[in-house]
Amino acid sequence: MNTFEEIGLGPEIVKAVSDLGYENPTEIQQKAIPYVLSSQTDLVALAQTGTGKTAAFSLPVLEKIDIDEKSVQCLVLCPTRELCLQITKDIEGFSKYMKKLDVIPVYGGTSIDKQIRDLKRGGQIVVGTPGRIIDLLKRKKLNIQNIRWLVLDEADEMLSMGFKDDLDTILSETPEERQTLLFSATMPREIASIAENYMHDPMEISVGKKNNASNNVKHEYYVVHARDRYNALKRIADMNPDIYGIVFCRTRKETKDVADQLMQDGYNADALHGDLSQAQRDQVMGKFRVKHLQILVATDVAARGLDVNDLTHVINYNLPDDIEVYIHRSGRTGRAGKNGVSIAIAHSREIGRVRDVERKVGQKFERKMVPGGKEICEKQLFNLVDKVENVEVNDDQIEEYLSVIYKKLEWLNREDLIKRFVSVEFNRFLSYYEDAPDLNVTVRDRNDRRNDRRGDRNDRNGRDRDRGNRGNFARFFLNLGNKDNLTAGKLIGIINEQPALRKIDIGKIDIMNNFSFFEVDKKHERDLLGALNGVDYEGSAISVEVARSKESNTGFGGRAKRRKRRMY
């Protein structure tokens, strides 16, 4: 394998990529960089996102660009605002030692004025979405008549998003002698016709198998009754405490529902779908990118352009109807040499479908069993022990408290102490998964399929199998949460203060940011509603209602703990 130096890049760029931690060129870079450096003819590259294609086109362009000339020399077209910003950031990284190089992102959905000002100041590279580029061309604020390179990134996505006419217009505005570099994960007919109409005798390169999912991706599937999908998802998440993944759902509603349930159950999750405003979407994507969220529940459309490289898991909450969609989803993990897992939660009638996808992907999918309570508890326990082993200890800060703590715990020996520390976290998993049912569908006969269909119907009515261990508690929604300074202790205090509620058992309490859930003995449901509603809490009127049934809270980051009155 050749190094970045050996494939013809100069010291400034080599140093910049080395700063980014790139050790050697990826396959697409090995192929594309020397070609673009040495040739003027066009290039069609079949490559998935995650193969390193941004550097494959940017580095040779940067090597050849005239940095003393401020006019636009390279135009990069890409389908979404997110990708546009990502490419810009990447190019800024690659050109960090080229002080005079300016790259300007232009995209829709935001004020055009600033972008016009940026263009006026000048820059050698413009990265933009087709609609905004057309707008700027019409206003004569962007001149692409002298560009030397036109890059079409994720060309198939641009076509499937309806940018065909825009692309035609833009292509016809560029000079004949430009070099066109087209990158696409798939090669539908329309791409071939763009290549035919606008490109001159392009060289074609491809990395990996055309249209194939990455080899760093392990494909797994679980077979459960349709009604157990959500519980299976929860168990998969519990089995992977360090998960950083996207759960793909079919509809906006399903996306919302799954994300809401995960959040209510204490997981570090959020939703990304088309009903959110651009600002809300940006916020969610931003949180996910910096890993403040572990699980993003998304529709395919909304997740487009979210370019995150180190996902550990992609979870297909349902198998998509279109196999290409599966391939696209799974291609979001296992990027840049890292390993990833693509999971499909299927029900027994979908086994045939799994086989279809397997054939298309060209890899065997592994049937995995939904973990049972014991396995999950074991996993969580060892995860906890690992955390204890690896936690950073701030000796200076903790020092002043230690002597008091040592004294307080003096009566415990080492074994007791370890048992207690571990139990603080672990008990909730133990109690939650005690008696948890097996969710796997094992037999695939006609009866089973009939049950599945019944399961589908039950699923629509909303129910819960894992609830068997919940005892006789009713769950309530409360209009106050963390933001109102509510804590579990305070909530218990409020309940205790009501004479009608003196003797009731309190179950799990989940304090969320804006609201909370808690359980009390079902017998006292009415008393509770009657006694608490309208009570004043630090200036706000309390509003309580019976919550829709949900599994209880066991997720990471969850606050649920079983609290009994006698503890206080």
**Contact residues: ligand AMP, CB under 6 A:** 22, 24-26, 29, 49-55, 307, 309, 335-336
Which residue lies nearer to ligand AMP by CB, 336 or 385? 336
CA distances from 469 to 369, 435, 465, 546, 559 (A): 21, 7, 10, 19, 18
> Which residue, 306 or 346, is less far from ligand AMP as judged by CB?
306
Tokens, residue 179 = 């070099």
Are 130 and 170 spatial neighbours (Cβ–Cβ below 8 Å)?
A: yes
Taking the least distance from each CB to ligand AMP, the nearer of 311 and 441 is 311
Q: Which is nearer to ligand AMP, 26 or 348 (CB)?
A: 26
Report CA-CA distances (Å) from 234 to 120, 198, 263, 337, 384: 52, 50, 11, 28, 18
Beta carbon nearer to ligand AMP, 25 or 373: 25
- In terms of CB distance, is 115 or 129 closer to ligand AMP? 129
Q: Least CB distance from residue 14 to ligand AMP, whole Å?
A: 11
Q: How far is the CB of 413 from ligand AMP (least distance, A)?
A: 50
In the complex, least distance from residue 29 CB atom to ligand AMP, rounded to whole angstroms: 6
Q: Return the number of the residue (115 or 330) whose C-beta is nearest ligand AMP.
A: 330
Phi (first) and psi of residue 230, to 5 degrees = -65, -45
Least distance in angstroms from the C-beta of 16 to ligand AMP: 12
Q: What span, in angstroms and rounded, lies between the C-alpha atoms of 234 and 243?
A: 12
How buried is 97 (Cβ within 10 angstroms: 0-12 exposed, 13-18 middle, 19+ buried)?
middle
Residues in the chain: 568
Both structure tokens of 66? 């005239």
CB of 258 to ligand AMP, least distance (A): 27
What backbone torsions phi and psi does residue 72 show, to the nearest 5 degrees?
-70, 120
Which residues lie across from 170 on neighbouring strands? none
Which residue, among 452, 437, 250, has the nearest Cα to 347 in the 3D structure?
A: 452
CB of 218 to ligand AMP, least distance (A): 19
Contact 328, 79 (CB under 8 A): no
In the complex, least distance from residue 4 CB atom to ligand AMP, rounded to whole angstroms: 8
In the complex, what is the shortest distance from the CB of residue 344 to ligand AMP, in angstroms, rounded to a whole number? 24
Residue of 472, 473, 490 whose CA lies nearest to 481: 490
Among residues 48 and 264, whose Cβ is nearest to ligand AMP?
Answer: 48
Quick check: helix, strand or coil at residue 85? helix
Q: Are 506 and 563 in contact (CB under 8 A)?
A: yes
Cβ proximity to ligand AMP, 57 vs 432, nearer residue? 57
Three-state DSSP state, 180: strand
- For ligand AMP, give the closer residue by CB, 61 or 233: 61
Give how far the C-alpha of residue 109 lies from the chain's centroid of Cα atoms, to the nearest Å.
22
Q: How many CB atoms lie within 10 A of CB 308?
A: 20
Minimum distance from residue 473 beta carbon to ligand AMP (Å): 47
Nearer to ligand AMP, 16 or 302 (CB): 16
Please, what is the minimum distance in Å from the beta carbon of residue 21 to ligand AMP? Answer: 6
- Integer Cα distance of 297 and 262 in angstroms: 9
Task: Determine which helix (DSSP H) or strand (DSSP E) holds 150, and give its type and residue range.
Answer: strand 149-152
In one-letter notation, the amino acid at residue 251 is T
Min dist. Cβ of residue 305 to ligand AMP (A):
11
Residue 300 CB, nearest approach to ligand AMP (Å): 18
Of 309 and 543, nearer to ligand AMP (C-beta) is: 309
Query: To 10 degrees, what angle do helices 525-532 and 488-497 make?
Result: 90
Pairing of strands 313-316, 295-298: unpaired
* Contact present, 380 and 426 (Cβ < 8 Å): yes
Q: How far apart are alpha carbons 26 and 208 in whole angstroms?
A: 11
The torsion defined by the Cα of 333, 335, 338 and 341, in degrees rounded to 10, comes to: 20
Least spacing, CB of residue 93 vs ligand AMP, in Å: 8
Among residues 52 and 245, whose Cβ is nearest to ligand AMP? 52
Distance CA 103, CA 118 (A): 9
* CA 464, chain centre distance (Å): 26
Nearer to ligand AMP, 24 or 498 (CB): 24
Residues in Cβ contact with 544 at an 8 Å cutoff, skipping those fewer than 6 apart: 476, 477, 478, 479, 528, 529, 532, 533
Minimum distance from residue 84 beta carbon to ligand AMP (Å): 13
Minimum CB separation of residue 183 from ligand AMP in Å reads 9
Nearer to ligand AMP, 24 or 482 (CB): 24
CA atoms within 13 A on the CB side of 28: 30
